[in-house]
Amino acid sequence: AQSPSLDRDCTTLSRYVLQELHSFSAEAQDLSALMNRIALAGKLISRRLSRAGIVEDVLGFTGETNVQGESVKKMDVYANDVFISVFKQSGLVCRLASEEMDKPYYIPENCPIGRYTLLLDPIDGSSNIDTNLSVGSIFSIRQQEGDDVDQTATDLLQNGHKQIAAGYILYGASTMLVFTLGNGVHSFTLDPSLGEFILAEENMQIPESGSVYSLNEGNFWQWEEPIREYVRYVHRQEGYSARYGGALVADFHRIIQQGGVFLYPGTVNKPEGKLRLLYETVPLAFLIEQAGGKASTGRERLMDVVPEKLHARSPLVIGSPKNVELVESFY
Ligand code: AHM
Ligand code: MG
């Protein structure tokens, strides 16, 4: 019998994206080039992570603090630089906005022609690196609107429906790239010996409901009351399983594949929670909706939220439609 991967004819990412777009329009060409660049960044980051402890400067902190007030890890800086250098050569992206940079990064050479903005969290869940656990990268692509001559990037302060593409790279036991171009969610697995992302699943669909709930229960007394009530309710039911790995991308990947719900609610001191809208919660909202799931702040559909600033945060309730509706019913 043929192995399953051979049955699938080893569809590579670059071939798949061109096929999916069914056209050779300028935009289709651009998107295909953008996805290939993201894949290249993913390969470079994956290669470096796989050598943690063998080569220098993979583990540990730089000693700096970023815009978010968090200690910067060496891999945060490396991954941010990888995305910048990969997109400098693309000609397509004029601005990159990242968790690691206070202001958007402009690539002047690309600005007259580069019509796209890449929003990203270069390494999500970086506290997992030093213990050899999964981390990810999250990205979202938007069309630049207006010429942004004063470099304020105010056109980014619009809702999630403005996204053209979104996805993540999961650096786990294997490296996976999962994305949407607004026409379903597709996943690819990196074959390191080929250096190619090979199609794993087309049109992923999240189950209607699932038994996993995923949140940091250490924050119980910090949460707002509806979330405490929801968790008390879960504790009284049979059949739920708690799963929380400390990296959003990895926890989200479990949910989108197997169903259930991931939550990062607001707390008394931080009503907007921890996760950032433009490059963490809203890209995942786009993906989950494309896979038949739901994403909410608890009070409203996440895709409709308009950020007040580049690094704005939002609560996150995301996953199977039934599970998300149940959480919302506690508000
Ligand atoms: P980071 O992007 O700075 O790594 O922070 C985001 C991470 C998420 O991956 C994860 O879900 C969350 O922070 C974990 O936070 P906590 O330790 O408060 O549970
Ligand atoms: Mg993050």
216 marked as binding residue? yes
Residues with C-beta atoms within 5 A of ion ligand 2: 121, 124
Buried/exposed 247-284: b ≥16 CB within 10 Å, e otherwise: bbbbbbbbbbbebbbbbbbbbeeeebbbbbbbbbbbbb
Q: Dump pLDDT digits (tens) for 14-33.
A: 888 888 777 667 788 888 89
Residue having the nearest C-alpha atom to atom 17 of ligand 1: 246
**Beta strands 116-124 and 105-106: pairing type?**
unpaired
Beta carbon of 248 within 6 Å of any ligand 1 atom: yes
Q: Dump pLDDT digits (tens) for 265-305.
A: 999 889 999 999 999 999 999 999 999 999 999 999 999 99
- Indicate which atom in ligand 1 lies nearest the CA of residue 216: 19
Chain centroid to Cα 48, Å, comes to 19
- Give pLDDT, residue 145: 87
- Give pLDDT, residue 39: 97
- Indicate which atom in ligand 1 lies nearest the CA of residue 135: 9
137 marked as binding residue? no
Q: Dump pLDDT digits (tens) for 257-272.
A: 999 999 999 998 899 9
Q: Which residues of the chain have pLDDT under 50?
A: 1-2
Beta carbon of 245 within 6 Å of any ligand 1 atom: no
d(CA 124, ligand 1 centre) in Å = 7
Q: Dump pLDDT digits (tens) for 85-99.
A: 999 988 899 999 998
Beta carbon of 98 within 6 Å of any ligand 1 atom: no
The complex scores an ipTM of: 0.96
